[in-house]
Structure 1
Amino acid sequence: MKKIILFLFTFSLVSCFNNEQEKKEVIAKNPYLNQNSVTVFIPISLWNGKVGDKIREKFAAPVVGLHDSEAVFTLQPIHTNYFPAKAKVSRNILIVSPSFKSQTSHVKNKYAPNQHIYSLQGKNEAILLEQLQLASKEIMNTFYNSELNFLLAKHKVNKKLHQKIKKKFLVDVQIPAEYHKGLEGDNFLWLRKDVGSGNNNLLIYTASFSAIYNKNVVVTNSLFIRNQVSKKYVLGKTKGSYMITEQAYYPSFHTTEIQNNLAYEMRGSWEFHKDFMTGPYINFAIRDNKRKRFIIIDGFAFNPIHNKKDLLFEMEAIIKSTKIL
C-alpha cells in the first residue's frame, strides 16, 4: 500500500486537461501564475520539518538591498496527493517526495509554455536535504532567469527609445513601451516609468576602464561614479538636495555576466542629501572590451506605499537584456 501511495504522490502530475477551454479558464486569474511564485508539491510532514525549512531558507530568502523584508520567491505549498489544475500551469514547480530512488530531474514545458519542473526524490529526510543543498542553486537560477525573460517578453518595446540608446551608447537594450525619456546629457540618459504613487528610473551612462579599476578598488570607484552622476542629474525638490548612495549601509557587490560580458552588480539603498526621500537601487557596470569602457545602467525605485521587489525585478530584467554592439 505504501508503494502505491508513493507512486500516486510522485506521478500525480501526469493527468492532462480535458480540453483547451478548461486550460484557458484555469490560467485566467490564477494565483499560481504570479510573478516570482514557486509551487512546491510536498508532503506536509516534510514541509513542516527540516526539508521545508531548507526550502524556505533557499527560495524565500529576503531580496538584497530592501529595507523591508520581501522574499525572492513566494512559495505556494501543496500537500495533497492531487495536483490542482490551477497549480499545474505554474511556471515554476518544485516536487519534493520520498522515494526508494534518490535523484533530481528537470522537465521543461510539460503542462504549459515557459514552465520548469524540478523533482527531488530521496529515501529519507537526510538524503532529501542533501539533494536540496546540491541542486538549489541551479534550480534558483533557472526559476529566476526564466521569470526575468518571461517578464520582458510580456512588454512591447519602445522602438524610439530602443533606437536612441543604440545610437547614443552602441548597445541594444529592450526598453518597455511604458518608459519615457527624462533628462539627457552628453554621456547620460534618464528613463522613467510612472508606477502608482511612485516611479521606476533607469540611468544610462559610461565609465572608462581606468575610472572603474583605479587603484583596483572597484566597489569604491563604482560608488563614487554613481554619486557623481546622481549629484549632477538627480536633484530633489529642496534647494541643494540630490540623490546619494545611503551612507549607513555598505552595498552588496559581486561579479556576474550579462549577455556573455563581465559585469559588476551593486545593490543597496539611495537617499537624498538635504531631503527625506529614500528607496532601493540596482547598478550594473557591463564591461565593453571593444571600447575599453563600462556601460553602467542604474535602476532606482521610488514608491513609498507599495512593495519594491517587483519594481527592482522589472528593471533588472531590462538591464540584463543589454547587448554590446
Structure 2
Amino acid sequence: MGLLLDEERMLVDCACQGDVDAFSALVRKYSNAVYSTAFSLLGDFHLAQDIAQEAFVKAWNNLNCLEERGKFGSWLFTITKRLSIDWIRKMNKPITTLQAIDHVPDPLSTEETIEIRERAKTVWNALYSLEEKYRQVTILYFMSGFNTREISKFLNISVSSTESRLRRAKEKLKLELISLIEETLIKNKVDEAFERRVLERLQGVVVVYIPAIDLAQSAEWYEKFLGYKITHKGDIWSLERPGYLKIILCEFGCASHPIQFNRSYDSTAVMMIGSPDIEEYHKFLKQKGVEVTDILDRGACGKSFQMKDPAGNRIMVDYFAPAFESNNRSND
C-alpha cells in the first residue's frame, strides 16, 4: 500500500537528516501495523497505542542505526515487539483478557455495557486461542491495511508463510468469530490523531489547539496577521512560527481533536503573543479590519489589547509576551 520501496528508502534517508515531514509519511504508513503488533502481544488497545508511540519515538532516535534502509518496516516491527515484551516482563502480567474497546456509544445502559464486555472477551479469547504467529498475522491482516505481500515484508517472512498462517488461523476460527474479530479490529484502528501525537512528541514543542469554523480561512489569517507558516496534511492544519506556540487548527466541535481551553464569551485568550510596539500593531490591525479591543494601559505592567480571529477566538497581545512564552517552552 501507499509507498513504493524506492520512495520509502528516500523517506528514510531524509528522515535520517532530521526531516520530520518525511518521517511523518512513514508513521502514516506503518501506524496501524505497529499498533497491531503491540496489540497482538498485549491485548489492550490503549496500551498498544502507548507502545506504538514509543516504538516510533525510539525509531526516530535511532534511525542512523538502520543500515538497510529498505527494511525500515521489519526493523520497526522488531522494535515494537521488544518494547511489548519488555512491558510484559516489567509488569509481570500475562495477556489473558481484552481490556479496552474504543468507539462505544455513550451513555451506555447496563445491558449494553455487559454486551460490549462479553463481545470483547469473546474476541480476545478467540484470538488468544491461536498461536502467536497466527494471531499476529490475523490482527495485522484486519488492522494494518496491508495485503499479504506487505505483511510478509513487515514481518520479514515469505509471502507463502504469511498466506499459510492466515489460512490456518481462519481454519481454526469459526466463521461468525472471524466476522466479529474483523468488525472489532477495524473499529479500533488508529487515525490521524495518532500520527499527530507521535509528531508532537518528536518535535517536543508546546502545542495549542484552536477551533475554527473555516480551517483554510483561519490558517490564512494566522499567516497574514501573526506571521505563522502553514503546513496542511489531510485534516491537520499545523501553524508554526519561531519563538511562538505551535498551533493546530481543528473544526469547532470536532471530537477527534482535543481542545485545551474552554471556549466562552468572556475575555479569556486562547494564546498570548508579543509585540515591540503595541500602538503601531494595534493601528495596523484596525486598518486591516481585524476586530480588536481598546489598548489597556497597565502602568508599570505595560500595555496590551486583544484581537479576535475569524472564529471569534481571543488572542492577547502584550509587550511582555515573548518572555512569557519562553518560560512556557522551558517548563515543557
- TM (norm. structure 1) is 0.26
Name the one with the larger strand percent: 1
Structure having the higher helix fraction is 2
Larger Rg: 2
TM-score, with length taken from structure 2? 0.25
